[in-house]
Chains A and B, each alone.
Chain A
Amino acid sequence: DQQVKQNSPSLSVQEGRISILNCDYTNSMFDYFLWYKKYPAEGPTFLISISSIKDKNEDGRFTVFLNKSAKHLSLHIVPSQPGDSAVYFCAARDDSGGGADGLTFGKGTHLIIQP
């Protein structure tokens, strides 16, 4: 039961170019979405989030786009830097329970920035 899907296990991008990471979801009750970055032997690090009432949120080099009708979100990194090489997780929260609901994670996409 994959409610959050990241269909690309890995992505290779040249330094300086745009990295686009994609995420699809199936649960229409998801209303808050987050992207996390993870280096080996470390915990996930929060990058950027978006509420379902918005379609775009930007923070420096990172922009998240949300298409609710398509149940799709994407993370754009511009320009890509070597330090961006990591595993990126898409996560979503189901609003139906209220309170401190847990996140549902995708399986992650390993982004490799080529020099």
Chain B
Amino acid sequence: EPEVTQTPSHQVTQMGQEVILRCVPISNHLYFYWYRQILGQKVEFLVSFYNNEISEKSEIFDDQFSVERPDGSNFTLKIRSTKLEDSAMYFCASSERGVYSPLHFGNGTRLTVT
């Protein structure tokens, strides 16, 4: 069964550094998402992406965050200058038809900011 893959599985970075989290969505899916889960808290929506542009973003997704689909397969999340509170599990997801089709999640990247 096709799956969403994320790399790396664990990223450690120093405060103020830039990080890029990478995702390969399921190939025939058109809608792409980033979510995060801070330890002990719920999964939170960050951003959705369709047709090469952001469709929706949450309050969390401020100017420090950006997303890109640099080629036909990858979908990236960049955090420009990481803060301690950015430490979390970041999940990429994709869906075939957006609103009424389920999201399929990758296994996540654990980001640790020191």
Contact = CB atoms under 8 A, between A and B. Distances in A.
A97 B54 CA distance: 13
Contacts of A95: 99
B48 A107 contact: no
**Which label, helix, strand, loop or mixed, suits the secondary structure of the B interface?**
strand
Interface stretch (B14-22, B39-47, B65-73, B76-84): B39-47
Nearest to A97: B56
B103 interface: yes
A43 B107 contact: yes
Nearest to B54: A100
Interface in B29-65: 31, 33, 35, 41-50, 55-56, 58
A100 B105 contact: no
A3 B19 CA distance: 31
A34 B102 contact: yes
B102 A102 contact: no
Interface of B: 4, 6, 31, 33, 35, 41-50, 55-56, 58, 91, 93, 95, 98-100, 102-108
